[in-house]
Amino acid sequence: MIENIRNIAIIAHVDHGKTTLVDAMLVQSGVFREHQVITERVMDSNDLEKERGITILSKNLAVQRGDLKINIVDTPGHADFGGEVERILKMVDSVLLLVDAFDGPMPQTRFVLKKSLDLGIKPIVVINKIDRPGARPEAVVDMVFDLFCELNANEHQLDFPIVYASAKFGIAKASLADESDNLDPLFDMIRKRVDPPAGDPSAPFQMLISSIDYNKFIGRTATGKIANGTVHAGESVARIDRDGKVTYGRVSKLLGYQGLQQVEIGEASAGDIVTVAGFEEMGISETLADAENPQAMPYIAIDEPTLSMNFIVNNSPFAGREGKWVTSRNIRERLTKELRTNVSLRVEDTASTDTFKVSGRGELHLSILIENMRREGFELSVSKPEVIFREVDGERNEPIEYLAIDVPEEYQGTVIEKLGRRKAEMTSMQTMEGTNRIEFLIPARGLIGFRTEFMTDTRGTGVMNHSFHSYAPYKGPIEGRKNGVLIAMEAGETVAYSLFNLQDRGILFVGPGVQVYEGMIIGQHARENDLVVNACRGKKLTNVRASGSDEAVRIIPPRNLSLEQALEYIDDDELVEITPKSLRLRKRYLDANERKRMEKQSGK
């Protein structure tokens, strides 16, 4: 049976068609009945994944082609979710590296590919979107080969098979000149070029837990690939935790995969990817083993977080109006629950009982957690993201990001100048039909707040992607936000008359009829200093009439910041207040006199 199993992961940069290809493979393998209504991007099960069009959580499915069972794992493309990727690669024997036939290899491609090459996995390269206008598949193959060389691939890995595909139309070809109307060439390549799983079905049972979940009917579940042996439903097994401690339990449910569905099975052997229930507590990287001869498997090392921010109990005057879960106990319980499945996350207590220091792999990683919490009814305030420094041989080191930008020629000078101020070093430049791809190495601190500025400078035409590169010696201070903010003087409802008079002072973040409180940020000041303003003052009524005094008030639409933009925008003395219905920017200290006192104490 083990000869008829292939375990593969699909890795790619965001938006290169990974989930669309999985959809096509499912359709052509007969998983769906004829005329069955199929949702687009069926693997994106999470609401946030559907809205953003990105994969956040890895997912498993199985495709049957004749006697061959292909277990497929859909992996996230963002480097921020690298913890998911590192675990998943331990379950598979090959990867499909999906590359856009126009864009070529991108930063997240590099990140995930390096992880797989380091594990000795030999990829199959799929050049996708060959139907796209401007596609250049031959040039992209050369770029992929160069990337393999750059990432120190061995000789076997450099001899990679290539499949040309259009996931959108469900076709694949072994050669560009071939005619094809299905994905059979891809399935044939997987059969020929992917090795069956290594493992001995007759050896004592061993399974490394790669992901965990909770099911309200059967309790905690653990998913992983069986490395050796066979396991049966109802059988007693041992659980070995990270410290080597052994506990015993019974497999209450054993689940395998048929298409997208989890199905109950009686037994599974080496090479199978299964889900096991039966233990109250199970953790990622722990081993489930034979009860009579428990042998632990090597621990999966996960890259450390590079960014942290403080999660603070919401203490604004509007606290508790919109949220259901608002206390420090609620927030602690939610973060503890997240730690069980989100292995790249770290949570630490601070000197204040109302503040938790949460560290993750990047802004997106942390903002997805915050967005999920607000949708669940949580209220909290968060501080500006800060990078995590390390001491290496007595020297202060900071995280460096690999940044790739695609920018039209007319804007590249401005962008390069701005990045230079943020201590970025250019490593390469390529010209592509009216746009240039420029690559940099930049301190992670330099990217905080840059995306909004970049989109403004390029009139929305620029594309930027980045992933963690390495730790390097501290590059020196980087200037922060240049503009001050407009701060509400008192609590009340904003009035169009006041906002009309304030819009010359800067950019407004609120419109008329919005409830504000003292210390809340309602706009960006045109100058460097903060300005306390009254946005709630109405026009004084008078009997005197004069031409021009009753003109209609015209207000420029306010700038609405998304969660990521708000996190990037705030300064060290500011917070983002997050509730299920609202995002508000505020000063850490709401009272103006207290702000002045704290400034004097800090020596500013």
Q: List strands edge to edge, sheet with 68-74.
A: 59-65, 68-74, 5-12, 94-100, 124-128, 162-166, 171-173
Helix (H, G, I), strand (E, B) or coil at 454: helix
Number of other CB atoms surrounding residue 34 within 10 Å? 5
Q: What Rg value do the Cα atoms of the chain yield, rounded? A: 27
Q: Is 156 annotated as a binding residue?
A: no
Residues 6+ apart with CB under 8 A from 487: 519, 520, 521, 522, 530, 531, 532, 533, 587, 592
- CATH value of 390-473 in 3.90.1170.50, 2.40.50.140, 3.30.70.240, 1.10.3720.10: 3.30.70.240
Q: Is 109 annotated as a binding residue?
A: no
DSSP track, 72-121: EEE---SGGGHHHHHHHGGG-SEEEEEEETTT-S-HHHHHHHHHHHHTT-
Q: Is 23 annotated as a binding residue?
A: no
Cα 150 to Cα 72, 119, 143, 443: the distances in Å are 27, 16, 10, 21
CA angle 258, 259, 263 (to 5 degrees): 30
DSSP label of 189: H
Q: Is 18 annotated as a binding residue?
A: yes
Q: Is 460 left (phi over 0), alpha (psi -120 to 50) or beta?
A: left
CA dist., res. 341 & res. 177, Å (int) = 46
CA angle 213, 280, 350 (to 5 degrees): 75
Which pLDDT belongs to residue 463? 80
Q: Is 353 annotated as a binding residue?
A: no
Whether 209 and 274 have beta carbons less than 8 Å apart is answered as no
Looking at domain 2-193, its CATH superfamily turns out to be P-loop containing nucleotide triphosphate hydrolases (3.40.50.300)
CA dist., res. 78 & res. 362, Å (int) = 10
CA dist., res. 77 & res. 112, Å (int) = 8
Please report the beta strands in 367-505, taking only residues with DSSP state E, as ranges in sequence order: 380-383, 386-387, 390-392, 395-408, 425-432, 435-443, 463-473, 485-488, 492-493
CA dist., res. 41 & res. 57, Å (int) = 14
Amino acid at 384: K
Whether 65 and 71 have beta carbons less than 8 Å apart is answered as no
Which pLDDT belongs to residue 194? 87
Angle between helix axes 450-457 and 409-421 (nearest 10 degrees) is 150
Angle between helix axes 107-118 and 137-150 (nearest 10 degrees) is 50
Which pLDDT belongs to residue 42? 41
Q: How many CA atoms lie within 13 A of 524 on its CB side?
A: 13
Pairing type for strands 5-12 and 94-100 reads parallel
Nearest CA to 9 among 136, 103, 98, 138? Answer: 98
Q: Is 17 annotated as a binding residue?
A: yes
CA dist., res. 264 & res. 257, Å (int) = 9
Q: Is 213 annotated as a binding residue?
A: no
DSSP label of 461: -
Residues 6+ apart with CB under 8 A from 456: none
Tokens describing residue 475:
């590059």
Whether 83 and 344 have beta carbons less than 8 Å apart is answered as yes
Q: Is 129 annotated as a binding residue?
A: yes
Which pLDDT belongs to residue 108? 64
CA dist., res. 117 & res. 397, Å (int) = 26
N-to-C CA span, the chain:
71
Residue 432 exposed, middle or buried by CB count within 10 Å (0-12, 13-18, 19+) = middle
Indicate whether this model's pTM tops 0.75.
Answer: no
Amino acid at 64: Q
Which pLDDT belongs to residue 603? 63
Q: Is 131 annotated as a binding residue?
A: yes
Q: Is 471 left (phi over 0), alpha (psi -120 to 50) or beta?
A: beta
Tokens describing residue 179:
């005619």
- CATH value of 206-290 in 2.40.30.10, 3.40.950.10, 2.60.40.10, 3.30.1600.10: 2.40.30.10
| Alpha-carbon dihedral 173, 178, 184, 188, rounded to 10 degrees | -70
Residues of the chain with pLDDT under 50: 33-46, 48-50, 52-57, 79-80
Whether 472 and 398 have beta carbons less than 8 Å apart is answered as yes
Q: Is 452 annotated as a binding residue?
A: no
Which pLDDT belongs to residue 39? 41
Largest CA distance in the chain: 98
Helical ranges in 308-426 per DSSP H: 328-341, 363-375, 409-421
H/E stretch holding 353: none
Whether 303 and 468 have beta carbons less than 8 Å apart is answered as yes
Which pLDDT belongs to residue 460? 82
Residue ranges covered by each domain of the chain: 2-193, 206-290, 390-473
Residues 6+ apart with CB under 8 A from 167: 17, 20, 21, 23, 24, 128, 129
Residues 6+ apart with CB under 8 A from 250: 234, 235, 236, 237, 278
